[in-house]
């Protein structure tokens, strides 16, 4: 009953538009930080990512051949108070291996609760804490969805450099955001028993390690440059662009792969509009363990708090919050 109900919630959430890798948008001081594609950022807001699409060829492993993977995901985020937000994430995975049949299915539902507990507008800095819950058993085993839950306490931060001295004014549009969390599975290992045609019994034990999930972004806001530093005369749409590089990493903390980091470096561009933003990034594997093939990551992201604030920013105890960012 529990699995069926949560699976239904996952399908509904994906239909409404939910994502695994999208972040919230917001304003701290004069600094606008966009939703990022590969890692989450520290803001809470009312927003919708639909779709976020990742396509990359994954390397072969001891258990599987090289596989072309396409993820179609989305995220629905909701503020519960000015500093507390909840999001639901879902992902449809399409796997096309070099050997064997292509398969598809939903990954596990992800729930994230996030609270902004520190904000310094003058220094364009903020910090948030959150906990993510990967709900085991809500996805399809044939695409690798685990049957157990994983809980990830996480810290988020953001910092703009608008407080730098005027002598280095061209660095003021720079900003950095980052995350650090530890994914803790609720099951230490899984044992698989297989009986061969000859009647032999094979027992395989898979260990589920604790994993540090960490990353950061470097971004340069053209809009901040022209509004607060120096108007270099760039017209729209270029004046609304944010060049960005994202670093998304995972490092097992125990088990046979302890300390062996995998992940990607994602250079790209985000364009910020009044009600929507568009993002496109390359996905470059950080080492041979991650793979050798460059992928692509794209996203359409909607600012629900701007589109219909009376509808989407209503909260249980704080009334209508209104747009998270008053944009021109």
Could you tell me which of 134, 145, 132, 130 has the C-alpha nearest to residue 83?
Answer: 130
Mean model confidence pLDDT for the chain: 88
Run of H or E residues at 222: helix 222-224
- pLDDT, tens digit, for every residue of 118-161? 999 999 999 999 999 999 999 999 999 999 999 999 999 999 99
Summarised one tens digit per residue, pLDDT across range 34-77 is 999 999 989 999 999 999 999 999 988 777 889 999 999 999 99
Average pLDDT over residues 4-22: 35
* Residue 21 pLDDT exceeds 60: no
Q: For residue 284, is pLDDT > 60?
A: yes
Taking domain 2-320, whether its CATH number is 3.40.1160.10 is answered by no
State how far the Cα of 328 lies from the Cα of 240, in Å rounded to an integer: 12
Domain ranges of the chain: 2-320
Element (H, E) at 191: strand 189-195
On the CB side of 191, CA atoms within 13 Å amount to 4
Could you give the count of Cα atoms lying within 13 Å of 217 in the half-sphere of its Cβ? 34
Least confident segment among 25-29, 210-214, 273-277: 25-29
pTM of the model: 0.86
Between CA 313 and CA 46 the distance in angstroms is 6
Q: How confident is the model over 288-296, as a mean pLDDT?
A: 93
pLDDT one-digit tens code per residue, 90-114: 999 999 998 889 999 999 999 999 9
The answer to whether 301 and 277 are in contact (CB under 8 A) is yes
What is d(CA 71, CA 231) in angstroms, rounded to the nearest whole number? Answer: 39
């Amino acid at each position: 009953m529990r699995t069926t109900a949560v699976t239904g919630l996952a399908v509904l959430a994906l239909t409404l538009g939910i994502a695994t890798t999208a972040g919230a948008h917001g304003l701290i001081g004069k600094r606008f930080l966009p939703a990022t594609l590969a890692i989450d950022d520290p803001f809470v807001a009312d927003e919708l990512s639909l779709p976020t699409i990742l396509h990359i060829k994954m390397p072969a492993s001891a258990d599987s051949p090289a596989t072309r993977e396409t993820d179609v995901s989305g995220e629905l985020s909701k503020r519960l108070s000015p500093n507390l937000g909840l999001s639901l994430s879902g992902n449809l995975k399409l796997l096309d291996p070099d050997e064997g049949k292509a398969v598809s299915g939903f990954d596990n539902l992800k729930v994230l609760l996030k609270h902004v507990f520190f904000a310094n507008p003058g220094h364009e800095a903020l910090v948030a804490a959150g906990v993510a819950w990967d709900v085991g058993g809500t996805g399809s085993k044939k695409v690798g969805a685990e049957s157990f839950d994983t809980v990830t306490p996480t810290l988020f931060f953001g910092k703009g450099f608008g407080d730098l001295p005027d002598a280095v004014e061209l660095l003021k549009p720079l900003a950095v955001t980052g995350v650090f969390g530890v994914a803790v599975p609720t099951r230490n290992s899984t044992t698989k028993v297989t009986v061969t045609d000859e009647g032999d019994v094979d027992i395989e034990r898979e260990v589920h390690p604790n994993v540090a999930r960490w990353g950061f972004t470097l971004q340069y806001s053209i809009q901040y440059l022209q509004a607060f530093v120096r108007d270099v005369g760039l017209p729209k749409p270029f004046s609304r662009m944010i060049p960005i590089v994202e670093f998304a990493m995972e490092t097992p903390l125990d088990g046979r792969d302890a300390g062996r980091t995998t992940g990607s470096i994602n250079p790209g561009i985000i364009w910020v509009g009044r009600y929507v933003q568009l993002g496109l990034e390359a996905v470059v594997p950080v080492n041979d363990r991650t793979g050798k093939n460059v992928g692509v990551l794209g996203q359409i992201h909607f600012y629900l708090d701007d589109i219909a604030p009376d509808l989407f920013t209503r909260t249980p105890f704080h009334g209508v919050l209104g747009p998270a960012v008053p944009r021109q």
